[in-house]
Amino acid sequence: MEKITNSRIREEYIKVNHKSGATLLLYPMKGYSAAYALFATKYGSVDVTFKTKDDEDFVTVPEGIAHYLEHQLFENEDGNAFTLYAKTGADANAFTSFDKTAYLFKCTREFEENLRILLDFVQTPCFTDESVNKERGIIGQEIRMYEDDPDWRVFFNCFRAMYEKNPVRIDIAGTIDTIAQIDKELLFRCYHTFYNPNNMVLAIAGNFDVDKVIEICDELIKPVEDKQLEVIVPDEPVTVKQRKITEKLSCAVPLFNIGWKFPKMTAKESLRSFIVYNILMDMCLGKTSEFYTRMYEQGLINDTFNVCVELGRGFFTVMASGESQNPDLVLSEIEKELYRFKNEGLDGDSFITVRNKTYGELVSQFGNVASVATKLVDAFVNDLEIYDGIEITANLTLEDVKNALDSFNIENNSLSVIEPAE
């Protein structure tokens, strides 16, 4: 058991390398009514090619299987896990992202019973041909729902344009075709590969008792041999696959998403770059920038304009998104502006403004049980420490941001546009 503290924001939590192989990250928060718990595996939509020490060679499975598993695990012999949570009233859910799958609950009562339900159902796969077939209809409707969502489509199409081989280019839920290939045997195989405690974390924040959690984990998390899991992230060309991708959907104003592709980075490099590029983009294009004011006042962008960094295992991208009648012009204006900064240099005053903003955002997240617990899972998945971001931000210099701009390949981008369907 290890206590991890941060004196700058006077916070602390407990890390346990549990005998089962699982990592426990426990963050009690005084004065809060709710506890928020996630039991998560380092297994997301990009993990389609893998092997363990029991396999002779790498195997590649259909896209969408991590998400399919997430749906299927809720099934149990008596119905589904929601029925069990109904007795305690907990608010339960699950999600799959590019690089993780997490099962969660939020509760203000019967915490221990909820934790038992969570640990039990995630470790008890119960798939039948019938349940797998039934779920295909539900997931099919989930995929259909996202097909009609222009915000979602513009984002994923951008990945499709940037990446050639990395599975990040495929929707998290897969497609109607790929989910048709998923059966009970494949689900069991992926389950036993990725739902090994050595690949998993239990993260809890809020109102709970640490000793009681460890006691329940001792009882319920079953030790499993470490199978030395290896996952392949395909080698990816440094340059984007295509410069522009367009789709037509029911919307009124065209939506755009510009993505800049970066070479893959280690976890430590990723976090530092995440903060540095967030600050850089905010300084150059964010709401406090001269660029934003000019574009907004010209009516070329509106309130929805946003800059961000998206990263995960094997990918790192910087993005600018929004609505515009002329997305091509927005892209060319952004490129011009970034070149201008490259030539004329960055302003120290603007750096302090944006750094303070970033610091404030990071500190605020520690006042919310859901965001603390989710940050703990992210830290585990990326082999990082939860307070690293605050320390990097507090110690960042203008020079760091200048260096990032110097190495920024401004033209290595893809423009994704959703145009209104006629």
Interface with other proteins by CB under 8 A: which range of 163-171, 208-216, 235-243, 356-364? Answer: 356-364
Among 77, 252, 344, 395, binds other proteins (CB under 8 A): 252
Asked if 147 is part of the footprint of other proteins (rule: CB under 8 A), the reply reads: yes
Among 55, 151, 388, 400, binds other proteins (CB under 8 A): 151
Q: Judge contact between 195 and 41, C-beta under 8 A.
A: yes
Nearer CB in complex with other proteins: 74/408: 74
Residue numbers 293-352 binding other proteins by CB under 8 A: 293, 296-297, 299, 302-304, 323, 352
Asked if 191 is part of the footprint of other proteins (rule: CB under 8 A), the reply reads: no
Q: Judge contact between 40 and 100, C-beta under 8 A.
A: yes
Nearer CB in complex with other proteins: 264/375: 375
Residue numbers 202-221 binding other proteins by CB under 8 A: 206
Q: Check residue 396 and give left, alpha or beta (phi > 0: left; psi -120 to 50: alpha).
A: beta
Asked if 88 is part of the footprint of other proteins (rule: CB under 8 A), the reply reads: yes
Q: Judge contact between 62 and 167, C-beta under 8 A.
A: no
User: Residue 367 contacts by C-beta under 8 Å, 6 or more apart in sequence?
Assistant: none
70 is catalytic: yes
Nearer CB in complex with other proteins: 237/299: 299
Tell the smallest beta-carbon distance from residue 327 to other proteins (Å): 14
Asked if 274 is part of the footprint of other proteins (rule: CB under 8 A), the reply reads: no
Selecting among 70, 236, 323, 333, the annotated active-site residue is 70
| # residues near other proteins by CB under 8 A | 74
Asked if 280 is part of the footprint of other proteins (rule: CB under 8 A), the reply reads: no
Interface with other proteins by CB under 8 A: which range of 86-94, 195-203, 228-236, 269-277? Answer: 86-94
Among 138, 343, 344, 406, binds other proteins (CB under 8 A): 138
Distance (Å, rounded) from C-alpha 7 to C-alpha 338? 37
Among 31, 343, 344, 406, binds other proteins (CB under 8 A): 31
Q: Judge contact between 390 and 363, C-beta under 8 A.
A: yes
Residue numbers 98-117 binding other proteins by CB under 8 A: 106-109
Among 132, 200, 255, 318, binds other proteins (CB under 8 A): 255
Residue numbers 220-249 binding other proteins by CB under 8 A: 249
Among 5, 128, 141, 397, binds other proteins (CB under 8 A): 141
Among 239, 288, 397, 403, binds other proteins (CB under 8 A): 288
Write the DSSP symbol of residue 154.
Answer: H
Asked if 95 is part of the footprint of other proteins (rule: CB under 8 A), the reply reads: no
Distance (Å, rounded) from C-alpha 99 to C-alpha 194? 12
Using alpha carbons, select from 143, 145, 232, 126 the residue that is nearest to residue 180: 143
Beta bridge partners of 205: 27, 36
- Phi, psi torsion values for 63, nearest 5 degrees: -65, 145
Distance (Å, rounded) from C-alpha 377 to C-alpha 372? 9
- Phi, psi torsion values for 105, nearest 5 degrees: -145, 155
* Inter-CA distances, 214 with 6, 17, 91, 220, 223, Å: 23, 11, 22, 10, 14
- Phi, psi torsion values for 386, nearest 5 degrees: -65, -30
Among 137, 211, 343, 407, binds other proteins (CB under 8 A): 137
Tokens 């934003």 correspond to 292
Tell me which H or E stretch contains 37: strand 35-41
Tokens 């996952």 correspond to 231
Q: Which residues are catalytic?
A: 70
